[in-house]
Structure 1
Amino acid sequence: MNKTFRREIANVSIWGTTYIHPRNPYIVALWSTTFPGYGHLLLHKYIRGFALIIWEVFINQISHLNLAMVYSFMGKFELAKEVLNVNYVYMYIPLYIFAIWDSYRTTVEMNNLYLLAEKEEPPVNALTVKPFEVNYLDKRSPVVAMFWSMTVPSVGQLYLHQIISAFFTLIVTVMFVHYSHFIEGVHYLMLGDIDKSTEVLDKQWLLYMPSLYFFSIFQTYMNVVENNKLFEAEQKMFLKSKYQSSDFKIKAARVKSNANLRNI
């Protein structure tokens, strides 16, 4: 009789490997403060994460929030107030707070679900073969994943076979780089023309780049580490169910008393 499981820990599909594992809710909430939606992407809640990211960019662009922040950093407070669209800024605040709160709340709940699912030891499909794609569990290098994410955000996700996340990250990266003229600014900076480099940069779009770049590196590194743990757990469950006898028990070692130890 096949055993039924109430909860799953992981799912391996052609679009990627989705799984739950213990996370630090403060770390997840912290990434939501850098960019609404990033915390949810860490939780593999892609639909909610993508929706929050799109909403953040939309509201930020029409309110010119990033540009106002840049002028504030430069001490030009009057100019910051002038460019800021107050009508849309107040729509941004509830979104920002919700993203932080919801990512923290969801992390706590998913940690509890993981503890319950772990006791059931549900099986994990280690290999998925479809006509257009193949995905499987194996061990990958976190350092290699970080390196590729440093070159272009989204490449590290492709290395880990996170197709949906990689595709979305690539689109966002191209859009941010194009409208911010980031590569053009780096080009003039390498030529030593600092004034020209500063002139061509679009400050409103440029401010998206740091959070995107460093989040891509962090997300890829963490996903590779947890993917490797999932690979080991799947192997452990397979070997245990296939080769370990149901009568097998590990006897606890006896600890000698202090009196016996003194007589040795």
Structure 2
Amino acid sequence: MKSNQSNQNRNKIAQISVFGTTQIHLRNPYIIALWSVAFPGYGHLLLSKYLRGYSLVLWEIFINQSTHLNLAMVYSFTGDIESAKEVLNLRYMHLYIPVYIFAIWDSYRTTVDLNKIYLLGEKEVSSMQKVILKPFEINYLDKRRPLVATLWAMTIPSVGQLYNHRIFGAIFTLAITVVFMHFSHFLEGFHYLLLGDVQKSTEVLRAQWLLYLPSFYFFTIYDSYMNTVENNKLFEVEQKKYLKNCYQPKGFTVKKGVKVN
């Protein structure tokens, strides 16, 4: 009995808690690596490696702010190479590249390893608990709509994650959203743009903080959509296994039909 239980724990690929549903599923290593290229830490967050992912995201913000890398990129895009050289802080510049490359390599390597673990343990999905009841929170495994998650994520980052009941991810995402919006003056610039005052809109924006927003915004949309799809697959697999174990006779076999010409 003990060896049976330890074997199930060894092959477990999904866990539901009050903070969300964590699971291992097949992923494309190149897609995960590309999200790490867009922003170190994003690839690890897609893998549910939260501590490593959050650490890399915070490191990227810190080192980027210290080197003024985003501002230098803006000057480079506009052809002002001399200004790009002036704003770069060389004291921190060489700290940026090793961690950036590590985030890409580690997210790719981890994806390959987790894919192997999934293939070994996919038959143990039915061993997970379906409903979690706690005094301050309830979580349960059910089907949700990927389109709804996408639309909510498009309104403001973190809402799509709340729809999927990913509490830690939603809190972290919302906090980062407030920081980016505050320091980039994005909403203020957007307000002036709606009024037709393009010059004022451009003046209030802070390029160093503004460049974080595109990758961050689209990542939260992709993350919400992808997790909804995979949670739905987990729900279907669990239901299929439950019905098979509880209602299908032990000796049941699917017989091949006779082909009629």
1:219 equivalent among 212, 220, 223: 223
1:179 equivalent among 170, 183, 203: 183
Instruction: Tell me if the contact between 2:13 and 2:124 (Cα under 8 Å) persists in the aligned partners.
Output: no
Task: Note the C-alpha offset of 1:251.
Answer: 2.3
1:250 equivalent among 227, 251, 254: 254
Task: Note the C-alpha offset of 1:7.
Answer: 1.5
Task: Note the C-alpha offset of 1:123.
Answer: 1.4
User: Is 1:10 equivalent to 2:14 in the alignment?
Assistant: yes
**RMSD (Å) for aligned C-alpha atoms:** 1.3
2:212 equivalent among 193, 208, 211: 208
Task: Note the C-alpha offset of 1:253.
Answer: 3.8
Report SS of the residue matched to 2:127: coil
1:197 equivalent among 182, 201, 206: 201
After TM superposition, the structure 1 = structure 2 runs for residues 117-128 of structure 1, keeping only pairs within 5 Å, are 117-128=121-132
C-alpha separation between the residues in 1 aligned to 2:157 and 2:233?
Answer: 24
User: Is 1:37 equivalent to 2:41 in the alignment?
Assistant: yes
After TM superposition, the structure 1 = structure 2 runs for residues 55-66 of structure 1, keeping only pairs within 5 Å, are 55-66=59-70
Task: Note the C-alpha offset of 1:122.
Answer: 4.8
Bigger Cα displacement from structure 2, 234-243 vs 23-32: 234-243
1:84 equivalent among 88, 91, 98: 88
Instruction: Tell me if the contact between 2:36 and 2:103 (Cα under 8 Å) persists in the aligned partners.
Output: yes
Task: Note the C-alpha offset of 1:229.
Answer: 0.4
C-alpha separation between the residues in 1 aligned to 2:204 and 2:48?
Answer: 36
1:153 equivalent among 142, 154, 157: 157
1:162 equivalent among 162, 166, 169: 166
Corresponding pairs, count: 257
Structure 2: runs of 5+ lacking an equivalent: none
C-alpha separation between the residues in 2 aligned to 1:252 and 1:61?
Answer: 65
C-alpha separation between the residues in 2 aligned to 1:30 and 1:215?
Answer: 11
Instruction: Tell me if the contact between 1:8 and 1:122 (Cα under 8 Å) persists in the aligned partners.
Output: no
| 1:53-89 CA-partner distances (Å, limit 9, x unpaired) | 0000000001000000000001000000000012211
Structure 1: runs of 5+ lacking an equivalent: none
Tell me the equivalent position of 1:71.
Answer: 75
Report SS of the residue matched to 2:79: coil
C-alpha separation between the residues in 1 aligned to 2:171 and 2:149?
Answer: 16
Instruction: Tell me if the contact between 1:29 and 1:104 (Cα under 8 Å) persists in the aligned partners.
Output: yes
